[in-house]
Amino acid sequence: ESGSFKQVARILNHGLSPTDIAHLLESSPPKERNLLWKLVDKDLEGEVLLYLNDDIRAYFLSKLNAQELASVTEDFETDDLVDLLQQLPDTVIEEVLHSMDAQDRQRIEEVLSYQEDTAGGLMNTDTVTIRPDISIDVVLRYLRRHKSLPEMTDSLLVVNRKDDFIGVLPLTTMLVSSPNATVREVMNTDIEAIPVEMTRTDIATLFERRDLVSAPVVNQNGKLVGRITIDDVVDVIREDADHSLMSMAGLDEDEDTFAPVMKTAKRRAVWLGINLITAFIASAVIGLFEQTIEKVVALAVLMPIVASMGGIAGSQALTLVIRGIAVGQIGGSNIRWLLSKEFVVGALNGVLWASVVSVAAIAWFNDPKIGIIIAAAMLINLIAAALAGTSLPLLLKARNIDPALAGGVILTTVTDVVGFMSFLGLATIMYA
């Protein structure tokens, strides 16, 4: 068995890239994951950690002591190291910083001082800077003195003696320029640098709209402090998009699919508990009409239709608005238009499906009254659902509550209460 272990270890460490290893770990149940992790070469551990999702990374990090951590992260770029440090307890951060030389420590401490979800937290400090007055020929010779250039270097950053950001010189521009031209003559000064406090989501939007590969980051005084590269932005885009999807089911985007049973069970229990409150509220509404149901038991048979159709219609509006907010499409000027549109859409579909359901109900229970009641209730609930689905995300957002997380629960409460209340309420009047 030790022979086959060695074989697995060889394939793992020599046949796969660190991202592939990370993916394999993420796709493995806990036992296999721990086994595989032990087989990963010491000098690959650091890079593999980088590509793991937060949940799993935190788990493996917790098994390393400060010394192991320091050796694992030796060759890390600043942004990667900071990402990783941010997941550690303060005492461990202290120890790791302590094990570094003064210059590295200072650089790390600076980046650590920025908020994790801002340009400062996302940026790298490995910029290649040049002065505006030198010639392209000198730049080429300067570059040749490097053993390598940082990854994703698509442009050189132009700064003055005081490190004030002046412009960028894309490599593609430099390569078609005359060697005698000066940097100033060919550089691009149209580029707005990213302020160090810009949020991750805004940065992602900027990269997407401007098709950027990298962008300079400046502090409040216009001094160049680092650069952001598309590989990190892609991660932000992926995480933001995942966030909406996962939150709507009460999940975390860093959720580990193969987390141990107890961890998953606990997280899920909380979400079920919150939704149980909604369910009890709906039951309480039904409870108000017990006598009516006792008289006309067909009501109990049909009532879930009204509630569930409201839920479906509402969640369509809710999802559309949550996505619209996330991509910055919905704001002050178009909300009124959107609300009235969704109202009309709700009413039109209300009329359509109320007619269908009404005919079916009359045919089923041979009772015209029940057809009228369910048609009216459906219409009321579909309109309520459209209005709630559209306005809820905006109301929650304004109160700094995540619409993707809270929207669905509140919406269900609305459509259940309105659905049962209108259907059973109308029935109580009509069958009185």
- Separation of alpha carbons 320 and 303, rounded Å: 27
Smallest gap from residue 356 Cβ to a second copy (A): 7
Q: Cβ 305 to a second copy, closest distance in Å?
A: 4
27 vs 113 by CB, closer to a second copy: 27
- Please answer whether residues 343 and 386 qualify as being in contact, where contact means their C-beta atoms are separated by less than 8 angstroms: yes
Rg (alpha carbons) of the chain, rounded to whole number: 30
Measured distance CA(404)–CA(315) in Å, rounded: 11
Please report how close the Cβ of residue 267 comes to a second copy at its closest, in angstroms. 9
Of 267, 230, 234, whose CA–CA distance to 252 is shortest?
267
Of 196 and 408, the one with the shorter C-beta distance to a second copy is 408
C-alpha distances in Å from residue 124, one per residue of 55, 186, 401: 23, 25, 31
Distance CA 251, CA 177 (A): 52
Answer for the pair 320, 395: CB distance below 8 angstroms, yes or no. Answer: no
Closer CB to a second copy, 98 or 295, in the complex: 295
By C-beta, is 241 or 362 nearer to a second copy?
241
Strand partners, 218: 195, 224
Q: How far is the CB of 342 from a second copy (least distance, A)?
A: 8
Question: Which residue lies nearer to a second copy by CB, 113 or 245?
Answer: 245
What's at 233, amino acid-wise?
A: V
Q: 137, exposed or middle or buried, with CB in 10 Å at 0-12, 13-18, 19+?
A: middle
Q: Find where tokens 């989501």 sit.
A: 201
CB of 84 to a second copy, least distance (A): 17
CB of 10: closest distance to a second copy in angstroms? 19
User: What's the closest the beta carbon of residue 165 comes to a second copy, in angstroms?
Assistant: 21
Nearer Cβ to a second copy, position 293 or 387? 293
For residue 224, what are the CA distances in angstroms to 137, 157, 168, 193, 239?
24, 9, 11, 9, 27
Instruction: Report the residue number, 108 or 286, with the smaller CB distance to a second copy.
Output: 286
Structure-block tokens of residue 77: 């770029």
